């Protein structure tokens, strides 16, 4: 699905990353999600000279969630992200009965749940240099607004955040104050709260810098109280690590995950998260019946991409042949993720 060019965006040589998160990720969604990916890759190839590529795509069955990770020049990334979002909005269906049966375990506000446009770097090395007026919205903010405007035109209610928001309100505040996102947070040891999928809402915005996502999956030995203690131990608002937001989520087979957003990578990296987790594990071993870390932690893993990964893939895809080879690898992995009842989350 080709979209009209958004060439009016300023500083068109700015390089950005864009993540599109969709509330669908199970086997019965496979054909349509593969179609969305392949159409996005075809669109990228059609404007290859302008540098845009699908860096990675991932699906997680237990969370009923998929993501498409783009990188390239801001105008082209905006076009491709808009195509993905509109196709998903128009064609993906999850009925109320399906949601209650499947119990989507990741919070959401709509079918296209979240779109983040993030800076990689610009010609001048700083996004602010793209604007003659330092108070003017950044290229990522303009791109987020452009994507949101197209979705609003097809009836989606958009909640903006970050540089796309008039008051620069961060994503967590927008989710908590303006949407029902946190209504799917866990309330007891057994279940979250199922809510009806609404295709008509999305959070779209522009963080100040590249955001990484990092998850810690606990074993079934850990109950919700223990999982929430880890969440509090790592997130900034509970005196944890700087620039870290975290949420406790039910996963599958009586397991929980702590999902973290790393908002200030210059202050806190995934390595810092691991150090903090190790300390929490040691404290729990000393004060409980657990004998070693394998009794507590099943897996720690990065979700999605890094800025270095985005730039590396763009560098590798400078010829059409190399980009097609990369696209085939991404599509093969995505199909593999979609056809697993329990999906190994990898970056």
pLDDT band of residue 20 (cuts 50, 70, 90) is very high
Distance CA(41)–CA(45), nearest Å, equals 6
The strand ranges marked E within the chain are: 15-22, 52-60, 65-73, 112-121, 157-162, 201-206, 212-218, 244-250, 256-262, 297-303
* Cβ 234 vs Cβ 244: under 8 Å: yes
- Burial of 344 by CB count in 10 Å (0-12 exposed, 13-18 middle, 19+ buried)? exposed
Residue 337 CA from chain centroid, whole number: 16
Neighbour-count burial for 305-318, b at 16+ CB within 10 Å, e otherwise = bbbebbbebbeebe
The model's pLDDT over 144-184, given as tens digits with 9 standing for 90+, comes to 999 999 999 998 999 999 999 999 999 989 998 888 887 65
Please give the span between the terminal C-alpha atoms of the chain, in angstroms, as a whole number.
27
The model's pLDDT over 113-128, given as tens digits with 9 standing for 90+, comes to 999 999 996 433 444 4
Distance CA(219)–CA(232), nearest Å, equals 18
The model's pLDDT over 268-283, given as tens digits with 9 standing for 90+, comes to 999 999 999 999 999 9
Question: What's the Cα-to-Cα distance from 40 to each of 26, 45, 238, 330, 333, rounded to whole Å?
Answer: 20, 9, 40, 12, 16
The answer to which of 108-112, 256-260, 321-325 has the lowest mean pLDDT is 108-112
Distance CA(242)–CA(193), nearest Å, equals 30
**Percent helix, strand and coil across the chain, each rounded to 5?**
40, 20, 35
pLDDT band of residue 194 (cuts 50, 70, 90) is very low
For residue 2, pLDDT beyond 70: no
For residue 131, pLDDT beyond 70: no
Sole residue written with tokens 């993540």? 19
User: Looking at residue 198, what is its pLDDT?
Assistant: 54
User: Looking at residue 15, what is its pLDDT?
Assistant: 94
Distance CA(161)–CA(158), nearest Å, equals 10
- DSSP letter, residue 343: P
Give 222-245 as a DSSP string. --HHHHHHHHHHHSGGGT-STTEE
Distance CA(78)–CA(71), nearest Å, equals 10
User: Looking at residue 105, what is its pLDDT?
Assistant: 66
Distance CA(226)–CA(254), nearest Å, equals 13
User: Looking at residue 135, what is its pLDDT?
Assistant: 67
* Cβ 12 vs Cβ 60: under 8 Å: no
Distance CA(51)–CA(25), nearest Å, equals 28
Residue 74 CA from chain centroid, whole number: 18
The answer to which of 40-49, 140-149, 187-196 has the lowest mean pLDDT is 187-196
User: Looking at residue 10, what is its pLDDT?
Assistant: 37
Question: How does the average pLDDT of the chain come out, rounded?
Answer: 85
For residue 12, pLDDT beyond 80: no
pLDDT band of residue 217 (cuts 50, 70, 90) is very high
The model's pLDDT over 69-115, given as tens digits with 9 standing for 90+, comes to 999 999 999 999 999 999 999 887 654 434 433 454 688 888 899 99
How many C-beta neighbours within 10 Å does residue 208 have? 16
The answer to which of 22-26, 36-40, 148-152, 272-276 has the lowest mean pLDDT is 22-26
Greater pLDDT, 103 or 316? 316
């Amino acid at each position: 699905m080709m979209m009209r060019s958004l060439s009016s965006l300023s500083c068109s040589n700015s390089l950005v990353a864009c993540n599109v998160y969709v509330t669908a990720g199970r086997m019965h969604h496979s054909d349509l999600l593969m179609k969305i990916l392949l159409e996005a890759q075809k669109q990228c190839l059609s404007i290859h000279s302008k540098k845009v590529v699908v860096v990675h795509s991932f699906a997680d069955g237990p969370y009923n969630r998929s993501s498409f990770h783009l990188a390239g020049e801001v105008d082209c990334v905006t076009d491709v992200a808009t195509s993905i979002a509109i196709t998903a909005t128009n064609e993906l269906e999850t009925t109320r009965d399906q949601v209650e049966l499947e119990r989507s375990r990741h919070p959401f506000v709509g079918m296209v749940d979240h779109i983040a446009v993030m800076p990689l770097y610009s010609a001048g090395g700083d996004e602010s240099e793209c604007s003659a007026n330092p108070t003017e919205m950044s290229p990522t903010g303009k791109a987020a607004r452009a994507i949101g405007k197209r979705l609003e035109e097809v009836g989606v209610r958009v909640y903006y955040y970050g540089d796309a928001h008039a008051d620069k309100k961060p994503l967590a505040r927008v989710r908590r104050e303006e949407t029902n996102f946190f209504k799917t947070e866990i309330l007891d040891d057994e279940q979250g709260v199922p809510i009806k999928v609404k295709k008509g809402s999305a959070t779209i915005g522009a963080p100040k810098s590249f955001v990484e996502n990092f998850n810690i999956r606990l074993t079934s030995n850990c109950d919700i109280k223990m999982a929430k203690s880890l969440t509090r131990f790592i997130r900034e608002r509970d005196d944890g690590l700087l620039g870290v937001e975290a949420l406790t989520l039910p996963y599958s087979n009586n397991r929980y995950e702590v999902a973290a957003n790393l908002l200030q990578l210059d202050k806190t990296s995934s390595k810092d998260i691991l150090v903090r987790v190790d300390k929490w594990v040691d404290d729990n071993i000393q004060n409980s019946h657990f004998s070693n870390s394998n009794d507590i932690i099943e897996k720690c893993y990065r979700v999605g991409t890094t800025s270095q990964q985005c730039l590396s893939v763009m560098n590798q895809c400078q010829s059409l042949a190399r980009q097609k080879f990369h696209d085939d690898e991404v599509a093969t992995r995505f199909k593999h993720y979609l056809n697993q009842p329990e999906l190994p989350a990898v970056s």
